[in-house]
Structure 1
Amino acid sequence: MHRRSFFAALPALATSPALALDPLHGGDRITGAKFAGRSTVWGTQGAAATAHPLASLIGIDILRQGGSAIDAAIAINAALGFLEPIACGIGGDAYLMLWDPAQKTVVGFNGSGRSPKGMSLDYVRSKAKNGHIPSWGSISVSVPGAVDTWGQMHARYGKLKFADVLAPAIALCERGVPVAQTIAFYLNSSYRRFTNPDSGIEEVQNFLKVYAPNGRTPREGEIFRNPDLARTYRYIAENGARSFYEGQIADTIDAYFRRISGHMRKSDLIAHHGEDTTPLKTTYRGVEVLGLGANTQGLSTLQMMNILETFDLKGMGFQTTTSLHTQIEAKRLAFEDRAKFFGDPAFSNIPVETLLSKAYAQEQAAKIRQDAILPRIVPYEAPARGDTTYFTVSDKDGMMVSWIQSNYRGMGSGLIPDGLGFMLQDRGELFSLRDGSPNIYAPGKRPFHTIIPGFACKNGQPWLSFGVMGGDMQPQGQAQILVNLIDYGLGLQEAGDAPRWHHEGSSEPTGEAAEGTGTLNLESGVPLETRIGLEKLGWSIKPSPGNYGGYQAIVTQTEPLGRAYGAATEMRKDGLALAY
């Protein structure tokens, strides 16, 4: 099997088709899977796995100070809003699942915001491009839910003072840090996108002031500061999470939208409150797999696992043509249901019980052929790429937090309210404008969401807190991680380092129809014989560097001397896993 490609050694060839079969690979490990970039880290008192080393260090520091996993998660999220602005921030939404040791169960929280109540469907349609909501500008902005999520979770599970939890992020913003490699790359991409005359963004001067004061975005290793964000964080620290929605920050956002002729108002912010949600559940070879339901896509992961459970993936072999073909077809089947049914459950009914049933999974699995691609996928007949951060934290008391937070596509809407230092999300782009869609735009409605935290239990006890970032990659990425762990016995870090596939071209909740059998993206580490086998079956294959998500995970296991936590991180990005 081909081992992991050493992309950093060949920057000039990073987008070359020849790289799909490149002869250069990383070094060989003496133990474990040879393609793994590092080993799982282990500890007994707590662990943190995030997309940036400094965020992971902050999480561990908060735990060492006596903070809970929720304290550490909030501190991490605040830090990442500064360190990784291309993926997240307080202008976006958040979802989480956590193991509550007191209740001995997994609880869920939906921290997604709604569309402005003063913006009508007719108005949105008048601003549409090619029948869809534009990716950037005020038309795509929905109420940010992240800070409310901080407040509600801290009130329930926090141990440290809220101001102390935010203090490390404030210090980073004021002091400044060198910019990491992939973050510098995506900041430059956002600069080109937002300054394009055809972007449709009402104003970009605030973006330029914060992220490109010298006429360009910071390069790798250059120190970046954000004093505006530091002041915003300090205000929230001193006045509480609700001050974001009811105080001076809300006043500034309201005035900003009036200045650019947008529709978000302080009343929309005041009305926002995230909601508790009961995770959906299924079993996969004896493991209880959990996911959040609508308005997000956690159900898709569970549907994929139900379908795959009917096949002997272990017998098919790791990274073989048959195994990957079966997984890809399961994705296509689940995603047609996703396109047809998913949306805000307050506005539509979703046949969750049927879609999640083992009987329906058997019907779906029976459609999959090993000698051909299904030419057409039909959703159940009932009576995208995004930019996201995922992190997970555990503490000495047994709490495990699976947290995902996003501004959505390309850093967000391009809009930074005057003097606040953070960008507002463009999650509203994911509404449909098609009549009859459960995800059709409406005032005060939550759009379909791609971000999903992952969680799994064994024998009624927490086992795995994990996530895979990246738009529609998330359910297919989560399924690949679970298959790697459960069917192929890979370690926690190995499961994430293994070569991935990404299928695109299924029907979408935004109204796009399926594009034939779609396009299959394969990482260069997929064995050559598997690639050839998939091409013979008829899959349209292309290499697509960077389109395979971002993984973080923590696993817990009980040892004779106590609990042990293992943590893993994404080798494709800048992150770090730490435990102590």
Structure 2
Amino acid sequence: MSETRFSVNGMVCTVDHLASAAGVAMLDRGGNAVDAAIAANAVLAVTAPHMCGLGGDLFALVHDGSTAALNASGRSGSGADPERLRAEGRDRMPHLQDIRSVPVPGCADGWIALHKRYARLPLAELLAPAVRHARGGFPASPFLAPGGEFIGSLPGAGDFAAARQPGDVIRRPGVARALEALASGGRAAFYEGEFGEGLLALGGGEYVPEDLARPNADWVEPLQVEAFGHRVWTIPPNSQGYLLLLSLAILAKLDLPDDPADPRWAHLLVESARAAGHDRLDVLHEGAVAPLDSADDRRALIDPERRTAFHDHGARGDTTYLCVVDGDGMGVSLIQSNAAGFGSLLFEPSTGINLHNRGIGFSLTPGHPAEYGPRRRPPHNRGIGFSLTPGHPAEYGPRRRPPHTLAPALITRPDGSLRSVVGTMGGDAQPQVLLQLVTRLLGHHENPGQVISAPRWALATGDTGFGTWPEAAVVEVEDGAPWAGGLRERGHTVAAVPYGSNFGHAHLIDVLPSGVLAGAADPRALIGSALGL
């Protein structure tokens, strides 16, 4: 059970007490919520390489009187060639140890964009705790240590070779150099310096220098819906955050039981999530218009007493989420990820930064072979011979952003003031977990400790964690949840799984009407920490 922590002057919730402590230290020095979030995320980039890091992507929501959204997800390289993959007989992107599933990482660009717009403290000061842990050493967490023996044998991953047990000391001097370069020389020192040069060499033509010179962080218009008398905000596509909002809109007009222990409660949430996401692989891509106006049509398909025959899609992966609220009411909801565990299991050889595999979200569904496009010859060399038959909108190709599972959330009151920052790891399960958290918080008035600790359900995933769900998708239910029998009676296939089995490491900070901050870090993270100032 996670305890609700209270604070007046600021609070930081992360998956690692070292990261939370770094964030609180920045608040204590006069920094704001963005300063604290950058410092905490930088520590996680060192201590939690099995979830996030400088080789991954970042999304953030910031509330400072109004809500702003940052998309710092990287683009594929200029050498991205879907035909080469299809010629190899592939019908989906490579999962591990293939550079073609590694878009240019956006994390550092995200920090720079956040710092430029909001921060009070120098970037070098914010990154100093992470540099200290990287150079001086940090204790391996219970989740990091078991992978040390295997990961440490991979090229470029020697930093982890000594890790066997929780508490074993790990040092990452190359990461320390990369952080110092970013702090002293800015973006170019990182993306075009030691790390960038190594990435170009490792890419073998997947990237060109211009790919690394182009920033990967954009301020975008956030999405919002009304739910339980509040506004819930998230990131637009290429993020799947719209699934949370669409699920809430579907749920809004269903007869939800007052007691979350009622199996009908779980059934209606499961069906709302499935109705929102059954076509995700078809509609989620960079530049997509989130289908929030389809809530009524999708709700009409739901049987309040029986499972509906949707065709399900989805995935789950490894990510980290953190949130901060400062004493002035600024809030940050930030999520950062490698995609799957250590990511691609490829490491930039000089710095030892492990690279994400977020490119697995791309499609390999082809377009017409003579589709109209730049620098293409039509059949018979006549323009009328071109086809306008499109390929999949999320097809792998040069300088494209893949569909993304990262989905931070933020809640405001009717007067526009900040109510909550909330999010979770969990790949494609993120909107499902968030649907449960937001419903408990706003619909059932549970406190953060209750919301975060309560058992969860999640729809089961494919063999890689990023595959397509079959028609007979399984609802996985954590031990201690009261819904299994009632879900089976309603036609669901249910699997009981141990508490904490990849059901997300969620964190939540709620701003009470008094202005006091109430927060909780997920007990599933084992070393997660909600720290107040």
Note whether the superposition's TM-score is higher than 0.5.
yes
Partner of 1:231: 177
Instruction: Give deviations 1:492-535, integer Å, cap 9, x for gaps.
Output: 121010010001359x998x6541230110001112xx311212
Residue 377 of structure 1, CA deviation: 4.7
User: Contact conserved, 2:190 with 2:196, CA < 8 A, in 1?
Assistant: yes
Instruction: Give deviations 1:400-437, integer Å, cap 9, x for gaps.
Output: 01000011112111111122121111111110111332
User: Contact conserved, 2:124 with 2:184, CA < 8 A, in 1?
Assistant: yes
CA distance in 1, matches of 2:310, 2:216: 41
Partner of 1:570: 522
Partner of 2:115: 154
Match of 2:35 among 71, 75, 78: 71
Distance 1:481 1:164, change over 3 A: same
Match of 1:356 among 292, 295, 298: 292
User: Contact conserved, 2:320 with 2:335, CA < 8 A, in 1?
Assistant: yes
Partner of 1:241: 187
Residue 129 of structure 1, CA deviation: 4.2
CA distance in 2, matches of 1:262, 1:211: 28
Partner of 1:27: none
User: Contact conserved, 2:76 with 2:104, CA < 8 A, in 1?
Assistant: yes
Instruction: Give deviations 1:458-494, integer Å, cap 9, x for gaps.
Output: 1211101110111011000110001111222211121
Instruction: Give deviations 1:317-370, integer Å, cap 9, x for gaps.
Output: 21221111111111111112322211111xxxx343xx212xx32222222213
Please state if 1:393 is matched with 2:324.
yes
SS of equivalent residue, structure 1 residue 144: coil
Please state if 1:484 is matched with 2:440.
yes
CA distance in 2, matches of 1:505, 1:575: 25
Instruction: Give deviations 1:118-139, integer Å, cap 9, x for gaps.
Output: 1211123235645443333212
Match of 2:475 among 502, 506, 520: 520
Partner of 1:372: 306
Partner of 1:549: 504
Distance 1:413 1:131, change over 3 A: closer
SS of equivalent residue, structure 1 residue 118: coil
Distance 1:336 1:570, change over 3 A: same
Match of 2:217 among 264, 267, 274: 274
Instruction: Give deviations 1:15-40, integer Å, cap 9, x for gaps.
Output: xxxxxxxxxxxxxxxxxxxxxx1321
SS of equivalent residue, structure 1 residue 110: strand
Calculate percent identity across the aligned residue pairs.
31
CA distance in 2, matches of 1:454, 1:152: 19
Partner of 1:291: 234
Distance 1:351 1:171, change over 3 A: closer
Residue 246 of structure 1, CA deviation: 2.9
Map residues 415-564 of structure 1 onto 2, 5 A cutoff. 415-435=346-366, 436-459=391-414, 460-504=416-460, 514-527=469-482, 530-545=483-498, 546-559=501-514, 563-564=515-516
CA distance in 2, matches of 1:221, 1:248: 30
Map residues 26-425 of structure 1 onto 2, 5 A cutoff. 37-100=1-64, 104-127=65-88, 129=90, 131-187=92-148, 191=151, 204-207=154-157, 209-212=158-161, 214=162, 217-257=163-203, 261=204, 263-315=206-258, 317-345=259-287, 350-352=288-290, 355-357=291-293, 360-377=294-311, 384-425=315-356
User: Contact conserved, 2:237 with 2:289, CA < 8 A, in 1?
Assistant: no
Residue 378 of structure 1, CA deviation: 9.2
Partner of 1:26: none
Instruction: Give deviations 1:49-95, integer Å, cap 9, x for gaps.
Output: 00000110110011101112111111111100111110000001100
- Runs of 4+ residues over 6 Å off in structure 1: none
Partner of 2:371: none
Instruction: Give deviations 1:278-330, integer Å, cap 9, x for gaps.
Output: 11110012110111111010110001000111123243x21221111111111
Please report the TM-score for the alignment, with normalisation by the length of structure 1: 0.83
Distance 1:245 1:132, change over 3 A: closer
User: Contact conserved, 2:195 with 2:348, CA < 8 A, in 1?
Assistant: no
User: Contact conserved, 1:162 with 1:240, CA < 8 A, in 2?
Assistant: no
CA distance in 1, matches of 2:196, 2:340: 23
Distance 1:403 1:186, change over 3 A: farther
SS of equivalent residue, structure 2 residue 334: strand
CA distance in 2, matches of 1:90, 1:134: 19
SS of equivalent residue, structure 1 residue 96: strand
CA distance in 1, matches of 2:130, 2:243: 34
> Match of 1:307, as an amino acid?
I
Partner of 1:24: none
User: Contact conserved, 1:282 with 1:290, CA < 8 A, in 2?
Assistant: yes
Distance 1:245 1:335, change over 3 A: same
User: Contact conserved, 2:311 with 2:471, CA < 8 A, in 1?
Assistant: no
Residue 396 of structure 1, CA deviation: 2.1
Distance 1:312 1:536, change over 3 A: closer
User: Contact conserved, 2:2 with 2:522, CA < 8 A, in 1?
Assistant: no
> Match of 1:65, as an amino acid?
R
Distance 1:518 1:505, change over 3 A: farther
User: Contact conserved, 2:479 with 2:497, CA < 8 A, in 1?
Assistant: no
SS of equivalent residue, structure 2 residue 35: helix
Residue 241 of structure 1, CA deviation: 3.0
User: Contact conserved, 1:428 with 1:447, CA < 8 A, in 2?
Assistant: yes
User: Contact conserved, 2:2 with 2:521, CA < 8 A, in 1?
Assistant: no
SS of equivalent residue, structure 2 residue 351: coil
SS of equivalent residue, structure 1 residue 402: strand
Structure 1 unaligned spans of 5+: 1-36, 196-203
CA distance in 1, matches of 2:507, 2:96: 27
User: Contact conserved, 1:245 with 1:266, CA < 8 A, in 2?
Assistant: no
Distance 1:186 1:484, change over 3 A: farther
Residue 249 of structure 1, CA deviation: 2.8
Structure 2 unaligned spans of 5+: 367-390
CA distance in 1, matches of 2:155, 2:216: 31
> Match of 2:282, as an amino acid?
K
Aligned residues: 504
CA distance in 1, matches of 2:123, 2:244: 34
Partner of 2:370: none
> Match of 1:492, as an amino acid?
P
